[in-house]
Amino acid sequence: MNTLLTAQYNPQLVSQISVSTSTKFYTQEFQNSLYALFKQHQVTIRGVLNTTNNKDYKYEMDIGFDDDLLTGHTERTDGQQTTVSDIDAKKCTATGQYVRCYKGDITIRTSNSGAGRKGTFDVSLGRGTAKFDVKVPEQIELKFDHTHTGRIRDEDFSSKTIIEGKSLRSDNKGSFSYSGSVDKEDGKWNNVQVRSSLSDKKTGQKLFATDVHLNQKITNKLSGQFQRQIGFNLERSGKQDQEE
């Protein structure tokens, strides 16, 4: 697996991130690119996934918001069908650690059908934290939850992200999940863990699950000695491969 990550972070102006990955899973190869731009009142995301079986997936998402409204437009194309969604949400009362929230409707349409399915959209934003929940009957269920403390270039930094997606369509039983966490203390990355899973869209059975982790701890503070452990676990259709 090869990964290239570039990022620019400025909470007051413009932040952007670009990720490119290339993965070979037995006879299949996956090439993925993702670009995200964050401005004060705008989020733009572009993504492309190419596979060896000539299936290309493309994503586009544009979201804008002000003190009262949040609107958005997304498009996803798999080479045969384009799925479009439109978001219209109004400001609500934020609670807990969140300082801003929006609730409203999301409507999903496909190129094969002019009729749209309406569902719920709920997003909450705070300093160093964000979450959203989307559910459209007979279409999709999507959850995102992120929180972090400090900045990634600081001596102390921690972050945790969870993403879960599930198709609710009768012809698609697929689902995916991702969770990642990092813990940096005194400039050292003590814990890094990334887990992901993907289920088959025809049967709903899990195709594979991965667990990559790094643990590091100080064994002697006076000499600065430390112990590091890196592990990789892959589970695929009932089989399990593990490396430490």
Answer whether residue 171 shows pLDDT above 90.
no
Calculate what percentage of the chain has a pLDDT beyond 90: 18
Query: 135 and 141 in contact (C-beta within 8 Å)?
Result: yes
**pLDDT at res. 224:** 61
Residue at a domain's end among 80, 109, 137: 137
How large is the greatest C-alpha to C-alpha distance in the chain, in angstroms? 69
* Residues 18 and 125 both lie in one domain: yes
Domain count for the chain: 2
pLDDT digits (tens, 9 = 90+) for 192-239: 888 888 888 888 888 888 888 888 776 666 666 667 788 888 887 655
* Residues 129 and 150 both lie in one domain: no
* Residues 244 and 204 both lie in one domain: yes
* Residues 64 and 167 both lie in one domain: no
* Residues 168 and 154 both lie in one domain: yes
Q: For residue 227, what are the CA distances in angstroms to 78, 194, 213, 230?
A: 45, 20, 14, 10
* Residues 178 and 216 both lie in one domain: yes
Which of these, 70, 68, 2, lies nearest to 32 by C-alpha position? Answer: 2
Query: 59 and 84 in contact (C-beta within 8 Å)?
Result: no
The whole domain housing 234 covers: 138-244
Predicted TM-score (pTM) of this structure: 0.73
* Residues 161 and 100 both lie in one domain: no
Residue at a domain's end among 111, 137, 163: 137
Residue at a domain's end among 137, 165, 182: 137
pLDDT digits (tens, 9 = 90+) for 100-155: 999 999 998 876 666 788 999 999 988 888 898 999 998 889 999 988 888 878 88
* Residues 150 and 181 both lie in one domain: yes
* Residues 84 and 142 both lie in one domain: no
Distance, CA of 210 to CA of 236 (rounded, Å): 9
